[in-house]
Structure 1
Amino acid sequence: MSHELLFFGGFIIFIILMLAIDLGLFAKGDKPISLKSAAIMSGIWVMFALAFGLVLYFWGNELHDVHDIARLKEIVAKHYHNIQVNESDLAGAIKAYNSNLTIEYLTGYVVEYALSVDNIFVMVLLFSSFGIPEKYYHKVLVWGIIGAIVLRCIFIFLGAALIAKFGWILYVFGAFLVYTGISMYINRNKEEEVDPQNHPVVKFASKYFKVTPKLDSGRFFHIENGVRYMTPLFLVLLVIEFTDLIFAVDSIPAIFSVTKDPYIVFFSNIFAVLGLRSMFFLLVNIIHKFHYLKVGLAFLLIFIGAKMLLHSQLEAIGFKTVHSLIVIISILVISVIASLVFPKKENLAN
């Protein structure tokens, strides 16, 4: 347990330092984030995510203090790793374990990053519906991501505890993801709308707290005659947190289809979430061009859900995590290429 806490604690310290650097580069007053800054930070977050994959490749066994065959077999069985342990070759067995751990992490990272794109569609819609000026986007997203990290940490380790106690819950997750994927495909062409006045989060906040339509120079709260009011900036932050909670219900079970190790789920999830803010500013003005991406995400969820439902049969025919990674990347690449090759008719008209 001490190794897990040390590994986890080191990761948290690293994330805090990187967030501080990220904020130092981004948060220089209330002004729009340039495409160049967004591209630089997106690249940096991806590089750090890949670098962490190398850490797992060389030292992943340190996470659970795996230094002998008995401990390795215990961890492989506990987290359902799809590898064969060669008891006569400790070094080779640990290398195979670390390699599998790295692939699980990278696959989970790709899945979460891809599903985060759908989150960007919604965030663009929310900012527009609430009339939030572009110069305040980064402030809301900073706090939104910090809140998302805390909520997902709770969700992930709660999910791991449920899976450890009730193995059958994986089938529930799988069926839910298939249903979500099919629903996303059916509603792929439906225009999403947000009514700020009738949103359940806004209704709840308005019922129990004082709300003002004034932005008050980008503050979350406005004080007038000694009374504190919530501004639209804080309301949209609450809605974004609520929306991320809904997205987490899809994305976290999706990563558990890749790995049952809660630490690997957490690492891959958090790196994707941390890169979401810079990716938002990178894609905010071009996200509409990838109109087939929702179709790709729908098939991605259906594939992941089916994999959870049929995991025993797939393992029996030799289907491994690396094959999942290939399928997932293929789905995403095809959806992006299809969007560029076959643009929407209105784009052609322009």
Structure 2
Amino acid sequence: MDHQLPATFEVITLGAMIALLVADLLIVGRRPHIPSMRESALWVGFYVGLAVIFGGIVWGVGGVTPAAEFYAGWLMEYSLSVDNLFVFVIIMARFAVPREQQQRVLMVGIIMALVFRAGFILAGAALIEQFTWLFYIFGAFLIYTAIQQARPESPEEHDDYKENALIRSMRRVLPLHHQYNGSRLTTNIDGRRLFTPMIIVFLAIGSTDVLFAVDSIPAIFGITKDPFIVFSTNLFALMGLRQLYFLLGGLLDRLVYLPLALSAILGFIGIKLILEALHTNTLSWINGGEGFEWAPEVPIWLSLTVIVVSLVVGTVASLWKSARDERIEAAAEAAAEAAEEAAAEAASEEAAGEPTK
């Protein structure tokens, strides 16, 4: 029989998770470096394994339902965090952040994301408890986001980072210098204190975190309304994100179908939220304030299945397409080289057959 998680367990585990994340980030602050592939892989594997073990502990303490909610929420939030990395890569390239400073930038970005998401979670939990009709709005927003996510992008849109109004206005207001000064936000040029491009990078990362929190928080509330599960899934999604950035590297460009997989997940969660809003309807101008009995309650196992299948299919299809494109490109290059060699050989034979003048 499923039961709720004890408050003591929630407080202790949340404290331990936050301490682990902060310790990891402090290590980066004291020893900024470019992690090797082996180091990144070990850390990512450690955090993924930790999430899997934690889900098992939740199962043992609280039962199947909270454990399934955790696994489904963690997988979804982790996949959305990988989507975050696409934008982070573009921002780093757009502002030419020195590679040895990228870990520090990611550290600040993760802290910002944690703060923003915590605020959204607390506000969302309080609002949903009082106003269940918000699921109509959350569901419609997620379906809209899913449609936008599925919309094909041009190469220019994919590779270019569009500065928002905040960044553009700060460029006009702040006295900026074009060179970095390590990880410092300011530099002294001829006795004048100027901001380095790092301040713009932090603003870009922070504003991006806000936008992703607006997407991810309604989505996780579509899986569970338990604030502890919501916050823990976000914590585990952020753990190892820095190492994942360096591990994936160029692999992000190969995950061409990941946006479609995320679109399917967000669309499904959006429909689930609307169905739940219809089932528990309290709006007087809809069906007289009564719920719709025909609106089914989507079970958590179905949510978990949709998330896992979408991610697996999207990843496998992406890697298959990338491998196929590489084979086609290699065959085209080989054909071009063969054509050039044949043309050179023909030219040589023709030159050898000409009479001597």
Task: State TM-score, norm by structure 2.
Answer: 0.79
Amino acid aligned to 1:269: N
Alignment map for 1:1-350 (pairs within 5 Å): 4=7, 7-8=10-11, 10-21=13-24, 23-24=26-27, 26=28, 29-60=31-62, 98-189=63-154, 191-194=157-160, 199-224=164-189, 227-311=192-276, 312=279, 319-343=298-322, 347=326, 348-350=328-330
The answer to whether the 8 Å contact 1:148/1:241 transfers is yes
CA displacement at 1:317 relative to structure 2: 5.4
CA distance in 1, matches of 2:222, 2:68: 13
3-state SS in 2 of match to 1:222? strand
Partner of 1:86: none
CA displacement at 1:152 relative to structure 2: 0.6
CA distance in 2, matches of 1:6, 1:331: 32
Q: Between 307-316 and 108-117, report the one with greater CA deviation.
A: 307-316
CA distance in 2, matches of 1:276, 1:59: 27
CA displacement at 1:153 relative to structure 2: 0.4
Q: Between 202-211 and 160-169, report the one with greater CA deviation.
A: 202-211
Task: State TM-score, norm by structure 1.
Answer: 0.80
Please give the per-residue CA displacement for 1:251-270, whole angstroms capped at 9, x wherever unaligned.
Answer: 11000000011121111011
CA distance in 2, matches of 1:274, 1:314: 41
CA displacement at 1:344 relative to structure 2: 7.6
Higher-Rg member (1/2): 2
CA distance in 2, matches of 1:38, 1:120: 15
CA distance in 2, matches of 1:140, 1:125: 13
The answer to whether the 8 Å contact 2:272/2:298 transfers is no
CA displacement at 1:13 relative to structure 2: 4.1
Partner of 1:77: none
**Aligned in 2, Cα 1:14/1:345: closer, same or farther, shift over 3 Å?**
closer
CA displacement at 1:31 relative to structure 2: 3.1
CA displacement at 1:298 relative to structure 2: 1.2
CA displacement at 1:275 relative to structure 2: 2.6
CA distance in 2, matches of 1:272, 1:306: 23
CA displacement at 1:106 relative to structure 2: 1.1
CA displacement at 1:336 relative to structure 2: 0.8
CA distance in 1, matches of 2:132, 2:51: 30
The answer to whether the 8 Å contact 1:22/1:41 transfers is no
3-state SS in 2 of match to 1:183? helix
The answer to whether the 8 Å contact 2:140/2:270 transfers is yes
Amino acid aligned to 1:249: V
Q: Between 27-36 and 178-187, report the one with greater CA deviation.
A: 27-36
Please give the per-residue CA displacement for 1:116-135, whole angstroms capped at 9, x wherever unaligned.
Answer: 11111111111111111221
Partner of 1:85: none
CA distance in 2, matches of 1:266, 1:166: 20
Task: Tell me how large the CA RMSD over aligned residues is.
Answer: 2.5
Give 5+ residue unaligned stretches, structure 2: 1-5, 280-291, 331-357
3-state SS in 1 of match to 2:125? helix
Amino acid aligned to 2:217: I
Equivalent residues, number: 309
CA distance in 2, matches of 1:9, 1:229: 44
CA distance in 2, matches of 1:242, 1:291: 24
The answer to whether the 8 Å contact 2:177/2:196 transfers is yes
The answer to whether the 8 Å contact 1:291/1:344 transfers is no
CA distance in 2, matches of 1:145, 1:195: 19
Amino acid aligned to 1:19: V
CA distance in 1, matches of 2:16, 2:193: 34
CA displacement at 1:301 relative to structure 2: 1.1
CA distance in 2, matches of 1:266, 1:22: 18
3-state SS in 1 of match to 2:322? coil
The answer to whether the 8 Å contact 2:10/2:228 transfers is no
The answer to whether the 8 Å contact 1:148/1:244 transfers is yes
Give 5+ residue unaligned stretches, structure 1: 61-97
The answer to whether the 8 Å contact 2:185/2:198 transfers is yes
CA distance in 2, matches of 1:199, 1:157: 26
3-state SS in 1 of match to 2:182? helix
CA displacement at 1:149 relative to structure 2: 0.7
